[in-house]
Amino acid sequence: MDSEKQLSQLVARWLELDRNNATRKEIQGLWDSGNVKELESRMSPRIKFGTAGLRGRMQAGWARMNDLIVIQASQGLAAYVVQEVPNALSRGVVIGHDHRHNSEHWAKLTAAAFLAKGMKVFLLRGIVHTPMVPFSVKRLHAACGVMITASHNPKDDNGYKVYWENAVQIIEPYDQGISESIESDLGPATWDTSDVTASALSSDVTLEMHDAYFASLSAHLLVDKRLNESTSTAFKFVNTSMHGVSDSYVKRAFEGFGFAPFIPVKEQQQPNPDFPTVRFPNPEEKGALDLALATAEREGACYVLAQDPDSDRFSGAERGPSGTWTVFTGDQLGALFASHVISNCATEGSGKTLAKIALVASAVSSKMIEAMAKVEGFKFVQCLTGFKYIGNTALDLVEAGYQVPFGYEEAIGFMFGDEIRDKDGVAATMVFVQMVAALRTKGQTLQDHLENLYKKYGYFQTNNGYFICNDPPTIDTIFSRIRNFDSTSSPSYPKQIAGLTINAVMDLTTGYDNTNPPTYKPSLPLSSGHMIQFRAENEEGLKIFLTTRTSGTEPKIKYYLEGSGQDREAVRNLLIKVIQELGDVWFEAGKHGLGKS
């Protein structure tokens, strides 16, 4: 079948099924004007349902996010859940949405599709933060959950995030099963949303779940309310919700934990789907915290708190005695949070044995917690990147008899307690402000505490980046060369970098781990793209941990590099040398014309 005929069929099928006048007109207009290039990008390939669910630009077409795609995804998901989860019809689905364009409408379309299958629906009323969906799935013992959000993506995007019955984001093979179910159920759809709240199968548990969520925060994370109350006027917090949903959540949490009200960044306080003050509403992006820092300077505040638009990520900043601001990295926050959690677990009378405590981090996050675990005696486990893996790894550890009070990934995502096995920006905010309060009573800052952690466990510094390569075969060539660096053996990975001896190699593409004889099989699951990890060190105690991997969505070879040792300057210089050799020698950037981030 030639491409013109195939495109014609895709357009005809779209116009047959789409009942949204606006998106029908989009496709019809492109067809009438002969805009083949744009139609091809809109129509093929169909947007893929994966472990992150669906996420993409809001436009008409099979390759975009729109009413028809949401309806078909919901029909297929509902059919799959009914097939795979015991008593799914009566256990029901939890559905929530954020404030983005189309979010509320798509939540109702999702509800209508599940109701059409005869399934109970818990549609959370009004905008909610993403952690509310997994929390409610667990509390209600629901069969699954759906959150309509694109997190911190640009304003033109939206998404469809799915949680399984274990209240964790879906992983393999559920994603493939759901995708196949969607593709087998592409026929007539339910477009009428007028009865989704009136149906006998629809229940409104919104207030109940909100109350339970805040009670859970206090039960699991509140350390000393009297201390919070006594110190709450001694220093000020500025908070930005980044035009998202978190403002009301953090307000209520502050009150419950005994803190005086924070100072909001008024320009970013209210939900606004157009995100007018930031190009990318992500606290990690350059310039995203400028308004918050300016507000703090004006108000004389020493701390800035930030959540991303759906409030599952957190960032924090501290003004030092000299007036200089430190915006903590995700890894620095991870170390501070881990120290706080372990300290509370070790407190006399807590009833917790550190040997049965486990903390989890993604494979590309700092290994500082690993160093802490060796000294303090708790267990540290790494897993693949993404909270779908962090959450499921935590559940596996619980099954093995461990308590898992904390997990994180370097992209400012933090998980606390056992009620939500997903990242939660509100929970992270409340742990952060309590750390500030406790340290201030000792005359210390967070930066002081971080320096003390470095002295005890070693100095850790990360330097992450990427090389740009628009030719996939060239990327394959680069990684093939790394796996066959010399002819002495097969495989033959590099043995040195920047004067350090490489002593551990884990290839999560081919399934090789030189530290795990006799099988040499890695402990982590394999990656769908190229991904290799290296550990190296020298006689002076300098160490590096390096992960190189491809991106699933961008033409990049990413690297995640961390150096550690007692000499801070030596670590910094080492990272520069490693990156230079990585590009010049390993990747042959000049030969292949690679761009550098």
Catalytic residues: 151
User: 414: which strand partners?
Assistant: 408
User: Is the four-CA dihedral 370, 374, 376, 378 of positive or negative sign?
Assistant: positive
Question: CA nearest 346: which of 306, 375, 368?
Answer: 375
Residue whose tokens read 């493939």: 176
| Residue 169 CA: distances (Å) to CA of 97, 389, 422 | 16, 8, 8
Residue with tokens 């911190």: 152
Alpha-carbon span 493 to 484, nearest angstrom: 6
Per DSSP, the chain holds a count of helices (H) and strands (E) of 21, 23
CB atoms within 10 A of CB 447: 18
User: Distance between CA atoms of 16 and 31, rounded to whole angstroms?
Assistant: 14
Rounded Cα gap, residues 499 and 493, in angstroms? 15
Q: Which amino acid is at 141?
A: H
- Among candidates 171, 76, 96, which has minimal Cα distance to 137? 96
CA-CA distance, 240 to 305, in Å (whole number)? 6
Q: State the DSSP code for 382.
A: E
Place of tokens 């116009």: 15
Nearest to 284 by CA among 317, 261, 256: 317
Reported as half-sphere exposure (CB side, CA atoms, 13 A), residue 187 has a value of: 2
Specify whether the backbone of 356 is left (phi greater than 0), alpha (psi in -120 to 50) or beta: alpha
SS (H, E, C) 540-566: CCCEEEEEEEECCCCCEEEEEEEEEEC
Distance in angstroms (rounded) separating the CA atoms of residues 52 and 478: 28
- Omega before 134 within 30 of 0, i.e. cis: no
Identity of the amino acid at 209: M
Q: How far is CA 511 from CA 93, 368, 476, 519, 532, in A?
A: 37, 25, 16, 10, 10
Rg of the chain (C-alpha set): 25
- The DSSP call for residue 53 is B
The kind and range of the H/E element at 94 are strand 93-97
